[in-house]
């Protein structure tokens, strides 16, 4: 078996520094036995199939100093068919809510619309937390690049080593004046950070070897998939100060080599590794704000029915780490599985996305179960229209005009063809609204409200209804929170936000696994909406006051009953969040406890007031 250095030399000799060579799917050098590699041997791609057991795996051997955040009760194993994965060691078991690993990502970057809204180091902002120790009063821009912001000088100092070169590059981009290429995307900026950190710490360190050991899918890409990779490569080169189109091939090769890439092929492999292994960067309340890379966490395999979740419970930088939390008790020898995508998506959408981005056909328990003709997928179902019946019915096939509820025995008419069309229109509106949510939130709201009317036959847990309601809830929150208390529109937006929250809350249970942090976060969001100040004259949601369809309106209590409902949600959230975010429940869990204490006081004051009135 050839050593890693020899392999690199072979690549250097074979590939010239031209982007053209990346568009043909020429196979990279593959080690002779990719299954159990010697230390520092790169792993080549394998397909990921159904869940494996310890029996068909072997212990993965790696170099000293690598993956040092892996706790001693977990181990990395390799399966013939699924590649590497992380398993609970034989003879050990893990309790639900355990933080399986705390990892500082190798690099992370906020997406461009979030650069002004979050601290680039800890990810927090003034809305993040009520706890005094996590309180952020304001964000200040870095005076060097004017591009990233920090919540404090502590965070700025903490980030400086990583930001120094980035600051210079971002400043250089601004000085282009008219030719300003605009802010590079989060992937380009995160890749830049990786490259500069490698330059600082060295390419022979365990830190960089972990990056080189991330799985690359480059040999499995079709020519169409090579193009975005080449575009990304050009953008990264430009950002790093290399301009292949304006320099001689020798000059480009020399500059790339200085940054640790002996060939274009080598750089392309690095980009492909990044694309396959990067995570969504989320705030402590699970808002997606950018991209993160952690080679250790990236070893965890995917399942649409995960037993663990990747979260950032208290932010990053000096305040926290990427954590992988066990969502249920894990048995001896069990493989840790997280979901690479939103599990609220129906099977076809999930399969498509996993194939596109990760190049595998998912055969997880959920994907297999959905092939069972007797099983009704809550992600793709219609609801029974009988008052009080909560049954979900199979999505009718085209041509169906009548369906029967097996639970209550009622039959009703349905136009399956037009429902399918409305689902497609709804999906398109969701994508459009998602891209408009920051630039034109009013239009995004309008788009979603206008498709909602035709999606009322769907079960609340169905796609795209649940996702539309989730985004709409966010848009109504943005709308009401900027209006003054006296504005009559404010009550309306607040009631609509609370209604969406109640619908999302109801739909979520069927699609997210027990213990999933999304559920706890939703309970807290709904509780906060019920606690938000609302005028005494506010009307119950009705077709006259709400922009939501009549049969989606929920009766929300007012006065002290509203507060009691909020308190109930907060207690439920505190329990759920200790599972989903680990034992402290993260920042959202801390908020839930603080809010509950204040609310209990308020409710007892209300009760005292009522008693006093009665006495008088």
Return the range that interacts with Zn ion (CB under 5 A); candidates 161-169, 192-200, 232-240, 441-449. Answer: 161-169
Instruction: List Cα–Cα distances, 90 to 9, 53, 93, 563, in angstroms.
Output: 40, 11, 8, 48
C-alpha closest to that of 474 among 553, 552, 533, 528: 528
Select from 136-144, 189-197, 396-404, 560-568 the region that touches Zn ion (CB under 5 A): 136-144
Residue 450: count of CB within 10 angstroms of its CB: 13
Q: How far is the CB of 328 from Zn ion (least distance, A)?
A: 17
Part in contact with Zn ion (CB under 5 A); list of ranges 107-115, 137-145, 290-298, 604-612: 137-145
Asked whether position 142 contacts Zn ion by CB under 5 A, the answer is yes
Residue from 54, 76, 167, 414 in contact with Zn ion (CB under 5 A): 167
**CB 165, min distance to Zn ion, A:** 10
Segment contacting Zn ion by CB under 5 A, of 116-124, 173-181, 257-265, 501-509:
116-124
Q: Cβ of residue 525: shortest distance to Zn ion, in angstroms?
A: 23
Q: What is the DSSP string of 40-89?
A: TPPPPP----S---GGGEEEPP--TTTTTTS-TTEEEEEETTTEEEEEEP
Give least dist CB 160 to Zn ion, A: 9
- Near Zn ion by CB under 5 A: residue from 94, 155, 423, 477: 155
Could you say whether residue 504 binds Zn ion (CB under 5 A)? no
Site string for Zn ion, 303-342 (x = CB under 5 A): -x--------------------------------------
Q: How far apart are CA 306 and CA 334, in angstroms?
A: 12
Q: Which helix (H) or strand (E) holds 109?
A: strand 107-110
Closer Cβ to Zn ion, 13 or 371, answer by number: 371
Minimum distance of Zn ion from residue 98's CB (angstroms): 24
Residue pair 29/11 in contact (Cβ under 8 Å)? The answer is yes
Of 467, 504, 463, 124, give the one whose Cα is nearest residue 282: 124
Q: Please, which residue, 151 or 416, has the CB nearer to Zn ion?
A: 151
Nearer to Zn ion, 159 or 491 (CB): 159
Report in angstroms how near the CB of residue 513 gets to Zn ion at its nearest.
Answer: 12
Q: Of 414, 415, 506, nearest to 462 (Cα)?
A: 506
Contacts of 350 (CB under 8 A, 6+ apart): 304, 341, 343, 362, 367
Binding map of Zn ion across residues 457-486, x = CB under 5 A, - = no contact: ------------------------------
Closest to Zn ion by CB, 320 vs 507, is 320
Task: Select the span of 48-56, 113-121, 470-478, 547-555 touching Zn ion (CB under 5 A).
Answer: 113-121
Contact assessment for residue 122 and residue 135, using Cβ atoms and an 8 Å cutoff = no
Q: Smallest distance, Å, CB 556 to Zn ion?
A: 25
CB of 177 to Zn ion, least distance (A): 19
- Which residue number, 3 or 365, has a Cβ lying nearer to Zn ion? 365
Specify the residue, 396 or 541, whose C-beta has the smaller distance to Zn ion. Answer: 396
Give the strand pairing for 392-394 and 322-326: unpaired
Contacts of 283 (CB under 8 A, 6+ apart): 118, 123, 124, 128, 289, 312, 315
Binder among 31, 63, 113, 144 for Zn ion (CB under 5 A) = 144
Nearest approach, Cβ of residue 369 and Zn ion (Å)? 9
As a whole number of angstroms, the distance between CA 365 and CA 372 comes to 11
Window of 285-293, 356-364, 417-425, 485-493 that interacts with Zn ion by CB under 5 A: 356-364
Burial-class residue 423 by CB neighbours within 10 Å (0-12, 13-18, 19+): buried
For 157, the token pair is: 């100092």
Here the contacts of 340-346 (C-beta below 8 Å, separation 24 or greater) are: 340/302, 341/304, 342/467, 343/304, 343/305, 343/306, 343/511, 343/512, 343/513, 344/379, 344/461, 344/463, 344/466, 344/467, 344/508, 344/511, 344/512, 345/379, 345/463, 346/377, 346/379, 346/380, 346/462, 346/463
Which residues, at least 6 apart from 420, have a Cβ–Cβ distance to it below 8 Å? 398
Residue 144 or 549 having the CB closest to Zn ion: 144
Residue 414 exposure: Cα atoms within 13 Å on the Cβ side: 30
CB of 14 to Zn ion, least distance (A): 37
Q: Give the rounded distance of the alpha carbon of 477 from its chain centre.
A: 20
Give φ, ψ of 520 to 5 degrees. -65, -40
Q: Rounded to the nearest whole angstrom, what is the least distance from the CB of residue 387 to Zn ion in the complex?
A: 10
What is the footprint of Zn ion within residues 360-419 (CB under 5 A)? 362, 364, 367, 384, 386, 389, 391, 405, 407-408
Query: Which residue lies nearer to Zn ion by CB, 101 or 119?
Result: 119
Select 248 or 406, whichever has its Cβ closest to Zn ion: 406
Q: Does 151 bind Zn ion (CB under 5 A)?
A: yes
Q: Which is nearer to Zn ion, 78 or 362 (CB)?
A: 362
Residue closer to Zn ion by CB (options 252, 283) is 283
Residue 526 and residue 65: Cα distance in Å, rounded? 45
Least separation in angstroms between CB 155 and Zn ion:
3
Q: Which residue from 145, 206, 234, 483 is in contact with Zn ion, where contact means CB under 5 A?
A: 145
**What minimum distance in Å lies between the beta carbon of 192 and Zn ion?**
13
Do residues 51 and 335 touch, judged by C-beta distance below 8 A?
yes
Number of residues binding to Zn ion, judged by CB under 5 A: 20
Q: Provide the token pair at 357.
A: 């981005």
Q: Which stretch binds Zn ion (CB under 5 A): 55-63, 146-154, 188-196, 334-342?
A: 146-154
- Bridge partners of 110, per DSSP, are 290
Q: How far apart are CA 356 and CA 37, in angstroms?
A: 27
Minimum CB separation of residue 587 from Zn ion in Å reads 13
Residues that bind Zn ion (CB under 5 A): 119, 121-122, 142, 144-145, 151, 155, 167, 304, 362, 364, 367, 384, 386, 389, 391, 405, 407-408
């Amino acid at each position: 078996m050839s050593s890693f250095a020899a392999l690199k030399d072979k690549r250097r000799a074979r590939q010239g520094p031209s982007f053209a060579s990346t568009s043909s799917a020429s196979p990279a050098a593959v080690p002779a036995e990719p299954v159990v590699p010697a230390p520092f041997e790169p792993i080549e791609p394998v397909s990921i199939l159904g869940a494996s057991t310890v029996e068909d795996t072997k212990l993965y051997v790696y170099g000293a100093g690598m993956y040092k955040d892996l706790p001693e009760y977990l181990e990395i194993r390799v399966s013939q068919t699924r590649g590497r994965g992380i398993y609970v060691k034989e003879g050990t078991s893990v309790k639900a809510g355990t933080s399986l690993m705390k990892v500082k990502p190798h690099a992370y970057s906020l997406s461009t619309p979030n650069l002004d809204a979050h601290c680039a180091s800890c990810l927090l902002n003034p809305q993040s937390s009520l706890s005094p120790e996590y309180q952020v009063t304001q964000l200040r821009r870095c005076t060097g690049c004017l591009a990233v912001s920090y919540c404090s000088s502590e965070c700025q100092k903490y980030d400086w080593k990583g930001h120094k070169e980035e600051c210079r590059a971002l400043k250089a981009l601004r000085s282009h004046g008219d030719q300003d290429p605009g802010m590079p995307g989060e992937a380009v900026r995160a890749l830049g950070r990786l490259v500069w950190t490698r330059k600082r710490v060295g390419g022979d360190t365990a830190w960089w070897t972990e990056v080189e050991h991330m799985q690359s899918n480059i040999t499995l890409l079709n020519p169409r998939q090579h193009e975005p990779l080449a575009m990304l490569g050009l953008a990264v080169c430009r950002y790093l100060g290399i301009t292949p189109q304006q320099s001689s091939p020798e000059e480009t090769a020399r500059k790339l080599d200085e940054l640790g890439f002996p060939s274009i092929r080598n750089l392309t492999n690095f980009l492909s590794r990044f694309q396959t292994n990067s995570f969504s960067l989320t705030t402590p309340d699970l808002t997606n704000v950018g991209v993160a890379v952690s080679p250790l966490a990236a070893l965890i395999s995917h399942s649409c029915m995960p037993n663990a979740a990747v979260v950032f419970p208290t932010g990053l930088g000096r305040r926290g780490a990427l954590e992988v939390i066990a969502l249920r008790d894990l048995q001896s020898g069990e493989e840790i599985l997280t979901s690479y995508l939103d599990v609220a998506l129906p099977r076809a959408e999930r399969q498509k996305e996993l194939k596109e981005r990760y190049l595998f056909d998912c055969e997880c328990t959920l994907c297999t179960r959905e092939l069972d003709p007797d099983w009704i997928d809550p992600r793709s179902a219609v609801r029974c229209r009988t008052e009080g019946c909560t049954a979900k019915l199979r999505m009718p096939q085209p041509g169906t005009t009548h369906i029967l509820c097996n639970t209550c025995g009622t039959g009703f008419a349905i136009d399956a063809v037009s429902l399918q069309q409305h689902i497609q229109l709804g999906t398109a509106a969701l994508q459009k609204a998602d891209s408009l949510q920051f630039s034109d939130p009013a239009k995004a709201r309008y788009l979603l409200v206008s498709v909602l009317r035709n999606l009322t036959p769907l079960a609340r847990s169905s796609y795209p209804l649940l996702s539309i309601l989730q985004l709409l809830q966010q848009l109504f929150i943005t709308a009401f929170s900027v209006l003054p208390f006296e504005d009559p529109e404010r009550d309306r937006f607040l009631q609509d936000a609370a209604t969406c929250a109640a619908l999302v809350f109801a739909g979520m249970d069927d699609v997210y696994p027990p213990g999933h942090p999304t559920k706890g976060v939703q309970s807290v969001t709904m509780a906060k909406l019920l606690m938000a100040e609302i005028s005494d004259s506010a009307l119950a949601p009705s077709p006259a006051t709400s922009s939501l369809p009549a049969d989606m309106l929920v009766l929300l209590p007012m006065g002290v009953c509203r507060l009691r409902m909020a308190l109930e949600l907060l207690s439920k959230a505190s329990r759920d969040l200790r599972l989903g975010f680990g034992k402290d429940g993260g920042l959202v869990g801390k908020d839930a406890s603080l809010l509950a204490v204040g609310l209990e006081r308020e409710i007892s004051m209300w009760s005292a007031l009522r008693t006093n009135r009665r006495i008088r």
